[in-house]
Structure 1
Amino acid sequence: MTTLVETEGLMRILPETVPVTLVEDITLEIREKEFIAVTGPSGSGKSSLLYLLGLLDRPTRGTLKIGGRDAGPMDEKERARTRLEMLGFVFQFHFLLPEFTVRENVEIPMRKLGRLKREEMRERARELLGSLGLAEHLDKRPDQLSGGQRQRVAVARSLANDPPLILADEPTGSLDSKSSEQVFTILEKLVRDRGKTVVAVTHNLEMAERMDRRLHIVDGKIE
């Protein structure tokens, strides 16, 4: 299988008066078509690791390669371009822009990447939302949807540029049990049916047991 992400000795230290280590000496390989859970106590470094993998933060030490490219020498423009091409993000809170419609929110990553014409973006957003059971909600605002529906819109947005890797930070953490199961099933289908790789931080150990692989982090280290 193709390796999407590779890290060696990855560390993130906050340069406080007393330095705080968020992530310590993490070496791992993430391959295509994997469904990976990241678990651990609160404050153990799970989200910090995800932010490093997603190029939303820079490591203090160590190396990170995405798609075979070393992220270390990348400037901010290259990092932003790599995020748009390679990565999709789903957070605990959907972060949809309230002033835009559901369809327009899904179009935003496509507009930033600039590959498609306007009608092509509209059609892709329509297809993605339809595939997630949201065909009747294209022109609604996010505040007109339920929590589970908003999170499905966030999943559609993460797929906008067809990235190989989806990073999800507690994607079911703010949802009821029924909506949580729906979102989990969608993420699972992204791996099984669409060939995506999904790395998801979760406190839900029952869901973690249903995933392909589990990275358990304690005090910034993988156990």
Structure 2
Amino acid sequence: MNDLVVTDKLTRILPETVPVTLVKDVSLTVGEGEFVAITGPSGSGKSSLLYLLGVLDQPTGGTLTIDGQDCGAMSEAERARLRLEKMGFVFQFHFLLPEFSARDNIAIPMRKLGKLSRAEIDERAESLLVSLGLGDHVHKLPSQLSGGQRQRVAVARSLANNPALLLADEPTGSLDSKSSEQVFSILEMLVREQGKTVIIVTHDLEMAARTDRRIHLVDGMLAEAEPAT
């Protein structure tokens, strides 16, 4: 298994009048095709760490390497390109554009990347919807979908550019139990059947136990990193 994500003493401190430490000295490695859960109490730095791993925020100390590339040496444009090409993001709330159909929401990352024609983009978006059980909802607006369906569209959008790494921040946190299971099962399938690397922040310890490994944070520091049980 090749290493996809490597951090060394990754740290994020907010430069307030009294500095606030969000993440401190986190060193970890995540391999290709691995399913990893980040757990910890509220305010422990779970989402802050995920944002650092997704290059959505910049560390104040330590290093981050994604697929062999030193993110600290990149310009903002290079980091944006890295996110677009190699990463997909799923958040607790779907953040779909309300005026766009399910298909057109999924098309947005592909349009930004600019590698496919409009016809190819539409075909891939529709294929992703079909693969996630939403083939009958291609032209529906987010307001015409249930919460679970909207979140599945968000997962499809995260897969638009076929990223190696998916980062999910409490993706089932706003869903009922049935929809939560559907979304989590999709993430499992992406790891087991497609070889994606998935890092998920979750407060649900039952779901965390279904991943390959759990990374537990307390006060921004790594408390344990062990196989899920």
Report the TM-score when normalising by structure 2: 0.97
Q: Are 1:142 and 2:117 matched, yes or no?
A: no
Match of 2:52 in 1: 52
Report how far residue 145 of structure 1 moved. 0.4
Q: Report runs of 4+ in structure 1 exceeding 2 Å deviation.
A: none
Match of 1:192 in 2: 192
- Structure 2: 5+ residue runs without aligned partners? 224-229
C-alpha distance after superposition, 1:128-186 (max 9, x if no partner): 01000001111110011000000000000000000000000000000000000011100
Percent identity over the alignment is 71
Match of 2:202 in 1: 202
C-alpha distance after superposition, 1:84-105 (max 9, x if no partner): 1110000000000111110000
Q: Are 1:106 and 2:109 matched, yes or no?
A: no
Which amino acid in structure 1 is aligned with residue 8 of structure 2?
Answer: E
1:112-123 to structure 2, matched below 5 A, reads 112-123=112-123
Report how far residue 51 of structure 1 moved. 0.3
Report SS of the residue matched to 1:161.
Answer: coil
Report SS of the residue matched to 2:203.
Answer: coil
Report SS of the residue matched to 1:72.
Answer: helix
Report SS of the residue matched to 2:184.
Answer: helix
Report SS of the residue matched to 2:72.
Answer: coil
Report SS of the residue matched to 1:52.
Answer: helix
- Name the CA distance, whole Å, in 2 between partners of 1:166 and 1:97: 20
Which amino acid in structure 2 is aligned with residue 212 of structure 1?
Answer: D
Report how far residue 49 of structure 1 moved. 0.3
- Name the CA distance, whole Å, in 2 between partners of 1:104 and 1:155: 14
Which amino acid in structure 1 is aligned with residue 58 of structure 2?
Answer: R
Which amino acid in structure 2 is aligned with residue 130 of structure 1?
Answer: V
1:61-76 to structure 2, matched below 5 A, reads 61-76=61-76
CA RMSD of the aligned region, Å? 0.5
- Structure 1: 5+ residue runs without aligned partners? none
C-alpha distance after superposition, 1:63-91 (max 9, x if no partner): 00011000002111101100011100000
Report SS of the residue matched to 2:4.
Answer: strand
1:33-44 to structure 2, matched below 5 A, reads 33-44=33-44
